[in-house]
Amino acid sequence: MAMSMNAKRRTLEFAVLAVIVLIPVLGILRIDVTTGRFIVFNHYVLWGNFPLIFGSGALLIAAFALIYTLWGNAFCGWACPQNTLSEFTDKIMHKFLGRKGTIGVDTADGKFATKTTGQRNKLTSYLWITLILAAASAAAAVILLLYFFEPMEVVRQLTGTATHQVDNFWMFFWLGFFVVFIDIFTIRHAWCRYLCPYKLMPVVFWNKRVMKLVFDEKRSDECKTCQLCNVSCFMYLDPRTPEAQDLCVDCGECITACEVVNEKRGRAPLLKFYEGWFGWFNNVRQKFGGIDWLKVGAPLALMAIFTGMLIYGWSAYVPVDLNLSLKQNLSAQGADGVAESQYRIRVLNKALAPRNYHIEVRGINPEVLSFVDKDLPAGPGQELSIPLTVRLDPTKLQAGSNTLVVVLTSPDRPDIRLIDRATVVMAVAAPDTIVPEQGFDAGMPTVGQEDDGEEGGEEE
């Protein structure tokens, strides 16, 4: 037996909620609140990674533009979590306050109102509504926590089995709780009318072929006293009027109600979806001449561009960051009177797993270095800072430019090899100046460089 429209919609709504939960649980996307970095596929992504950061955001916007171009407001009624929670709240309100009972901001005039229908114990009803919505808000707050803390840490903190308190954990919980509670208790569908950014899509991508609800005006005489479509609309619209199109979320509840009534009368429903481009894709030959490629093609082209940007970003991604920098601008005097300059070697493990790294310093006489090759462990997301001192001894450094080379490898990932450089200028009269190598972008991995007969490079 084929699924009804309502069953399909509920299935998609729950699927979207499941995806929202699985995204942080599977490590697809999370934000580390301690560092402010994104965690994507269990790897840290720094804000400076423009292809990944900008490409992801732009691709998401382009995808929403394409969804609107093909299906109009159907996303709102079929997949939007805000609408799912609002519908859930409506059902709770109707159960305890009556068929048309409600609390919240009216979508028609924007005013806050309460209404009960039928015989109801208001105090008991309000108490049950508050408890149920508080539980739903707490569940939503826990989902929010998953986007900022490790899933197991969330479990430990909530169950009281954690060995230490995590900074800002309960602040995020209570912030999420109160925001969601206020939203579903008072705002709900008013968000769709006054605040939702998705409503900006018609300004740019509106066209006549977008999928929308239509009423058969020719048979309007058959629709006089039923009013079931009005009753079924949780947006409190009259689906038969053109004015309803601006706020209609294309959920199809009114269509289902109309089908039920007219099926008993042996007639076709008066309400249906105009499928627009979606119908065109199902019947290419009939509508080939009316394609507006500017409307449909623009989001597709943007999605292709931003997808390419993401692919490039991931192909160039390296799960460790190496940076060699001068710690002090001026040289310091060593114990033997020879000038010294201090460097800092910074290693950032961008993986959510411990890694071992091997660091070598080359290119300069080892006798002037306070550094020997090291094997260093780094925890998940840990940043290591290793001091490196160069003694500017004119008897052991040649006059002019001396290239200081730092090489990082990992026994855990043989494919990783990063190189960073700085130029030590040894002046005959004043050996106290160290300047960065001209044209070198410090901190960026060097690909395909040769050093001491070895070929440097890296790939994830």
Domain ranges across the chain: 5-47+73-204, 320-455
Residue range 243-258: mean pLDDT, rounded: 85
The pair of structure tokens assigned to 182 is 């206020």
The mean per-residue pLDDT over the stretch 202-217 comes to: 76
Q: CA nearest 422: which of 331, 332, 367, 344?
A: 344
The full DSSP string for 203-241 is HHH--TTS-EEEE-GGGGGG-SS--HHHHH-TT---TTS
Question: What's the confidence (pLDDT) of residue 336?
Answer: 64
For the stretch 54-106, pLDDT in tens is 999 999 999 998 888 878 888 999 999 999 999 999 999 988 888 777 777 76
Q: What pTM, to 2 d.p., does this model score?
A: 0.78
174 alpha-carbon distance from chain centroid: 21
Q: Confirm if 370 and 376 have CB atoms less than 8 A apart.
A: no
Length of the chain as a residue count: 460
pLDDT for 119 equals: 61
Q: How many CA atoms lie within 13 A of 455 on its CB side?
A: 3
Query: CA distances (Å), 437 to each of 251, 424, 451, in order?
Result: 62, 8, 16
Per-residue confidence (pLDDT) for residue 458, from 0 to 100: 42
Report pLDDT for 151: 94
Which residues, including other chains, have CB under 8 Å from residue 64's CB and lie 6 or more apart? 75, 198, 201
Q: How confident is the model at residue 276 (pLDDT cuts 50, 70, 90)?
A: low
CA 43-45-50 angle, to 5 degrees, is 150
Instruction: Please report which helix (H) or strand (E) contains residue 112, including its range.
Output: strand 112-115
The percent of residues above 90 in pLDDT, for the chain, comes to 39
Residue 236 region by backbone torsions, left for phi larger than 0, else alpha for psi between -120 and 50, else beta: left
Return the structure tokens found at 259.
């089908």
Sequence-distant (≥ 6) Cβ neighbours of residue 221 within 8 angstroms? none
Question: Quick one: pLDDT at residue 14?
Answer: 96
- pLDDT above 60 (res 378): yes
Over 50: is that where the pLDDT of 328 sits?
Answer: yes
Band of pLDDT at residue 243, cut at 50, 70 and 90: confident
**68, containing H or E segment:** helix 50-71
**Band of pLDDT at residue 331, cut at 50, 70 and 90:** low
Would you state the torsion angle of the CA atoms of residues 25, 29, 31, 35, taken in this order, to the nearest 10 degrees? 110
Residue closest to 449 by CA, chosen among 390, 405, 386:
405
pLDDT exceeds 80 at position 446:
no
Instruction: Give the model's confidence band at 332: pLDDT under 50 very low, under 70 low, under 90 confident, else very high.
Output: low
Confidence of residue 289 (pLDDT cuts 50, 70, 90): very low
Q: What's the token pair of residue 437? A: 């190598």
Q: How far apart are CA 133 and CA 182, in angstroms?
A: 10
Where is mean pLDDT largest: 284-293, 395-404, 414-423? 414-423
CA–CA separation, 229 and 246 (whole Å): 17
Residue 459 binned pLDDT confidence (cut-offs 50, 70, 90): very low
Phi first, then psi: give them for residue 288, nearest 5 degrees: -60, -35
User: Which CATH architecture fits 320-455?
Assistant: Sandwich (2.60)
Q: Are 274 and 248 in contact (CB under 8 A)?
A: no
Which of 72-76, 174-178, 283-287 has the least mean pLDDT?
283-287
CA nearest neighbour of 174 among 188, 161, 151, 157: 157
Q: Which of 194, 239, 195, 237 is nearest to 217 (CA)?
A: 239
- Work out the number of other CB atoms within 10 angstroms of the CB of residue 275: 18
d(CA 102, CA 116): 7
Mean pLDDT of the residues in the chain: 82
Tens-place pLDDT, residues 335-371? 566 788 889 999 999 998 999 999 999 988 888 888 8
Q: Which residues of 341-352 are buried (b: 16+ CB within 10 A; e: fewer)?
A: bebebbbbbbbb
pLDDT band at 322 (very low <50, low <70, confident <90, very high): very high
User: Hey, how many other C-beta atoms are within 10 angstroms of the C-beta on 286?
Assistant: 10
